[in-house]
Amino acid sequence: MTTQKGSSQPAESDPPPNTTRHRPTTMREVAEAAAVSVATVSLVVNNKKDARIGADTRKRVRDAIRVLGYRPNALAKNLVSGSSRFIGLVADAIATTPFAGQIIRGAQDEAWKHGYVLLIANTEGNEPAEKEAISMMLEHKVRGILYSTWYHRVAQVPAALNETDFVLVNCFARDSDAWAVVPDEVQGGRAATEILIRHGHRRIAFLNTTTPSPARDGRLQGYREALESAGIPFDPNLVFDAYPDQEGGYAAVEGLVQCGVTAVFCHNDRVAMGVYDGLRQVGMSIPEDIAVVGFDNQEVIAAHLRPPLSTVALPHYRLGAAGVRLLLGLDEAPGNGVLRIVCPVVERDSVSTRQEKAPANM
Amino acid sequence: MTTQKGSSQPAESDPPPNTTRHRPTTMREVAEAAAVSVATVSLVVNNKKDARIGADTRKRVRDAIRVLGYRPNALAKNLVSGSSRFIGLVADAIATTPFAGQIIRGAQDEAWKHGYVLLIANTEGNEPAEKEAISMMLEHKVRGILYSTWYHRVAQVPAALNETDFVLVNCFARDSDAWAVVPDEVQGGRAATEILIRHGHRRIAFLNTTTPSPARDGRLQGYREALESAGIPFDPNLVFDAYPDQEGGYAAVEGLVQCGVTAVFCHNDRVAMGVYDGLRQVGMSIPEDIAVVGFDNQEVIAAHLRPPLSTVALPHYRLGAAGVRLLLGLDEAPGNGVLRIVCPVVERDSVSTRQEKAPANM
């Protein structure tokens, strides 16, 4: 990290802007420096293994490329090979959520590993923008397209995607055999509930979202499965609907307190943050009076609540990486085309403080 | 938004994956359908205005393109024109902050407006990744590069950037005349303090960050300027250092309470969130006992605290858009090469509740 002391303002220098741009080195200049033909340079640059060029000549060309700082034209290379080293990534909301960034990072790291570059387009869910983005990618002869959404949902697959290979990331298509990579919501819901069961809780509320979604259905199913495995009967009165943000969590606290639970699994970390505020309001402590588990492991929230929130992370980085691996044929899709990625548990202090308290001396 | 009811699982259908890929239409097929030569199709596609092609023929070709779904090869087009319609965007942390997303969105919207496409690379501050990203962009003959950082700071400009036009976004170079677009930290600090002064406060603390940065220096300067304009003497005892997250804000509350201020300007929204927790702990109310202003307008926090936080927004979207405009020569850089963008005020309820309370009846 670059830091600085004193004045933060850049030097107020004279006008002339960034006009010192170097002229790029040409293939001809490389050829002259290496005393070979332009055709020979081209063969070396394009790594034609079968071209009859001596090791000596090859080395001379490589040295000249290095010394002169020659950059081969990737566009020309792509044109010769008939396809590009691009993978397209269409995202519906890079801007409004930190989650999309992790999908991009996972996809990019995996793409680079295999010599591909991402062409990213952010559409903000706008249909004309989406159409334009996919056209742009097809015109650039992408190897394929990842079509991603910022929250796990059913997607309407744009028709133009069928013109290339594609993988849906964080979404899936109904009545279609399109490949998709999604978080395993059922396993995540089960894992969240199991944290609470493991700490001795048996009366556990679930604040589920009001928004119909795979997350809503899957996490509820996971909650029920965890209870069942632990021999705890499912009580529908302990499942509450809460709008999936802080205000929703806050509003649900009254119901929580009335039904006398000792623990609550919140649909997401924002809801948990609202529950924190509501419990404080009525003088209840976390985890002593009520243990809380969230979902998402949201960067700026989860670790910074008081106490820090135990939660289940959405595996966005892995979703992006797995999407690229499916697209490039490095991994196989399961039979039904939908690959589910595990949501890992992140334990902090909202279920029990890390140093177990001595039960006397309280 | 696509929603769904009932089971969230996609249909478990038979294996065959996305193999129904259509073969792309060729230029020859367009030529045949329009009964013209391939050369004529090429002239129409490349929009050669001076080519002598009748309006009738031009229309016939365009119709065939539409009906057959032909997509011109952008790579070939770029190669013919000698440069591409790409703008590179190097970002140091797409993944770990929602801010980077807004820079990308602003840059993309502005680029698309002018027929350019962004090539985005996320480097996570890793130097080899950064070098590789810039090489990739230069090889794709980008029109220029935006080099952006997730927080406002001094940047070491990578040497390879000099091979093309570039603009620094959210950072600037010391002792250099490189063009840069940065947030106006001084104006932002002034605006934040002025919200509090406008509501009658005269004893106003400033919880500044411990990290040396343009934000640290600029916001302090803005705070001092606002006090001075209002005729309030600057008291260095009211400026506190706080680590710039929730824990830092929480830890600063004791000092705040002891010095008897009626208002506090926090370096960022995360610090303000910690101050909320700390004030609640000691039984003080916001805004009645202490008014609070943050900085950043951080998506998942600011609007969702109790009460919602008044703050000053960082203009990330505009930073990205302004960077593209400078790069394309649509706007001129100021004399010193550094363009400062205004940080807008976002008023909520942490300074005064929106319905002014009647002073009796309390």
pLDDT single digits (tens) B341-350: 999 999 999 9
Residues A255, A246: Cα–Cα separation, whole Å: 16
pLDDT-derived band at A338, boundaries 50, 70, 90: very high
What is residue A83's predicted lDDT score, i.e. its pLDDT?
62
The tokens describing B39, both together, are 């050369």
Contact criterion met (CB below 8 Å) for B152 and A3:
no
List all residues 6 or more positions away from A329 whose beta carbon is below 8 Å from its beta carbon. none
CA torsion, points B346, B338, B179, A93, in degrees to nearest 10?
A: 0
Q: How far is B293 from chain A (nearest CA, A)?
A: 18
Inspect the interface and report whether the beta carbons of A15 and B317 lie closer than 8 Å.
no
Angle, CA of B209, A245 and B183, to the nearest 5° = 35
Contact map slice: A 167-196 vs B, CB within 8 A: 167, 172-180, 185
Inspect the interface and report whether the beta carbons of A141 and B18 lie closer than 8 Å.
no
Hey, is the C-beta of A104 within 8 angstroms of any chain B C-beta?
Answer: yes
Q: How far is A325 from chain B (nearest CA, A)?
A: 14
Residue B7 has pLDDT above 60, yes or no: no
Highest-confidence segment of A38-42, A99-103, A147-151, B117-121: A147-151
Contact criterion met (CB below 8 Å) for A85 and A117:
yes
Contact criterion met (CB below 8 Å) for B140 and B74:
no
HSE, side-chain direction, 13 A CA sphere, residue B255: 16
Residue whose C-alpha is closest to residue B153's, from B168, B166, B170: B170
Residue A172 has pLDDT above 90, yes or no: yes
pLDDT-derived band at A356, boundaries 50, 70, 90: very low
Above pLDDT 70, what percent of chain B? 87
What is residue B16's predicted lDDT score, i.e. its pLDDT?
38
Which uninterrupted H or E stretch holds A213?
A: none
Hey, is the C-beta of A20 within 8 angstroms of any chain B C-beta?
Answer: yes
Residues B74, B188: Cα–Cα separation, whole Å: 43
Residue B355 has pLDDT above 50, yes or no: no
Return the number of other C-beta atoms located less than 10 Å from residue B270's C-beta: 25
Highest-confidence segment of B25-34, B38-47, B353-362: B25-34
List domains and CATH numbers for chain B: 27-72 (1.10.260), 86-183+318-341 (3.40.50.2300), 185-313 (3.40.50.2300)
Which uninterrupted H or E stretch holds A130?
A: helix A127-139
Q: How far is B98 from chain A (nearest CA, A)?
A: 4
Residue A13 has pLDDT above 60, yes or no: no
Q: How far is A124 from chain B (nearest CA, A)?
A: 9
Residues A349, B220: Cα–Cα separation, whole Å: 36
Residues B290, B204: Cα–Cα separation, whole Å: 10
Residues A238, A224: Cα–Cα separation, whole Å: 11
Residue whose C-alpha is closest to residue A182's, from A138, A137, A225, A147: A147
Chain A residues inside the 8 Å CB shell of B270:
300, 304
Hey, is the C-beta of A25 within 8 angstroms of any chain B C-beta?
Answer: no
Hey, is the C-beta of A127 within 8 angstroms of any chain B C-beta?
Answer: no
Inspect the interface and report whether the beta carbons of A166 and B18 lie closer than 8 Å.
yes
Residue A136 has pLDDT above 90, yes or no: no
Q: Which long-range contacts (CB under 8 A, 24 or more apart) does B50-57 make?
A: none
HSE, side-chain direction, 13 A CA sphere, residue A306: 21
Inspect the interface and report whether the beta carbons of A13 and B177 lie closer than 8 Å.
yes
Give B135-156 pLDDT, tens digit per residue.
Answer: 888 888 889 999 999 899 999 9
A333-354 mean pLDDT: 91
What's chain B's average pLDDT? 87
Scanning every residue of chain B, which has its alpha carbon at the shortest distance from the alpha carbon of A126? B1
Hey, is the C-beta of A80 within 8 angstroms of any chain B C-beta?
Answer: no
The tokens describing B2, both together, are 């696509």
Contact map slice: A 292-351 vs B, CB within 8 A: 298-301, 304-306, 317, 333, 335-338
Which uninterrupted H or E stretch holds A344?
A: none
Nearest residue, CB atoms, B94 vs list A3, A24, A101:
A101
What is residue B5's predicted lDDT score, i.e. its pLDDT?
34
Return the number of other C-beta atoms located less than 10 Å from residue B10's C-beta: 22
Full DSSP string of A141-180: T-S-EEEEEEEEEE----GGGGGS-EEEEEEE-TTS---E
Nearest residue, CB atoms, B5 vs list A100, A164, A212:
A212
Inspect the interface and report whether the beta carbons of B72 and A139 lie closer than 8 Å.
yes
Chain B residues inside the 8 Å CB shell of A114:
none
Q: Lowest-confidence range among A57-71, A191-205, B299-313?
A: A57-71
Hey, is the C-beta of A46 within 8 angstroms of any chain B C-beta?
Answer: no
What sections of chain B are H helices per DSSP?
27-34, 38-45, 55-68, 74-81, 98-113, 127-139, 185-198, 214-229, 246-258, 269-281, 316-327
Give B58-99 pLDDT, tens digit per residue.
Answer: 899 889 988 888 887 776 766 666 667 889 999 988 766 777
What is residue B32's predicted lDDT score, i.e. its pLDDT?
92
Residue whose C-alpha is closest to residue B292's, from B314, B319, B273: B273
Inspect the interface and report whether the beta carbons of B336 and A13 lie closer than 8 Å.
yes
Residues B36, B67: Cα–Cα separation, whole Å: 16
**Disruptive mutation site among A1, A5, A9, A150 for chain B (greatest number of B CBs within 10 Å):** A9
Residues B247, B238: Cα–Cα separation, whole Å: 19
Q: How many residues does chain B have?
A: 362
Strand partners of residue B146: B89, B167
Burial class of residue A37 in the structure, from the number of CB atoms within 10 Å of its CB (0-12 exposed, 13-18 middle, 19+ buried): exposed
Hey, is the C-beta of A207 within 8 angstroms of any chain B C-beta?
Answer: no
The tokens describing A54, both together, are 């001596």
Residues B210, A301: Cα–Cα separation, whole Å: 21
List all residues 6 or more positions away from A45 whose beta carbon is below 8 Å from its beta carbon. A27, A65, A72, A77
Residue A205 has pLDDT above 70, yes or no: yes
Nearest residue, CB atoms, A335 vs list B3, B15, B76:
B15
Inspect the interface and report whether the beta carbons of A101 and B108 lie closer than 8 Å.
no
Q: How far is A10 from chain B (nearest CA, A)?
A: 5
Residue whose C-alpha is closest to residue A240's, from A214, A215, A266, A219: A266
Inspect the interface and report whether the beta carbons of B3 and A306 lie closer than 8 Å.
no
List all residues 6 or more positions away from A350 whose beta carbon is below 8 Å from its beta carbon. A272, A286, A287, A291, A292, A293, A294, A305, A307, A308, A309, A310
**Disruptive mutation site among A22, A68, A75, A134 for chain B (greatest number of B CBs within 10 Å):** A75
Q: How far is A156 from chain B (nearest CA, A)?
A: 8
Hey, is the C-beta of B138 within 8 angstroms of any chain A C-beta?
Answer: yes
pLDDT-derived band at A3, boundaries 50, 70, 90: very low
Residue A1 has pLDDT above 50, yes or no: no
CA torsion, points A145, A150, A154, A159, in degrees to nearest 10?
A: -30
Residue B239 has pLDDT above 50, yes or no: yes
B13-20 mean pLDDT: 40
Contact map slice: B 251-280 vs A, CB within 8 A: 270, 273-274, 277, 280
Inspect the interface and report whether the beta carbons of A117 and B119 lie closer than 8 Å.
yes
Scanning every residue of chain B, which has its alpha carbon at the shortest distance from the alpha carbon of A10? B174
Scanning every residue of chain A, which has its alpha carbon at the shortest distance from the alpha carbon of B285? A281
Residues A210, B53: Cα–Cα separation, whole Å: 60
Distance of CA A10 to the CA centre of its chain: 36
B202-211 mean pLDDT: 97
Hey, is the C-beta of B104 within 8 angstroms of any chain A C-beta?
Answer: yes
List all residues 6 or more positions away from A279 whose beta carbon is below 8 Å from its beta carbon. A253, A257, A285, A286, A289, A290
Amino acid at A56: D
Inter-chain contacts counted by CB atoms under 8 A, chains A and B: 288
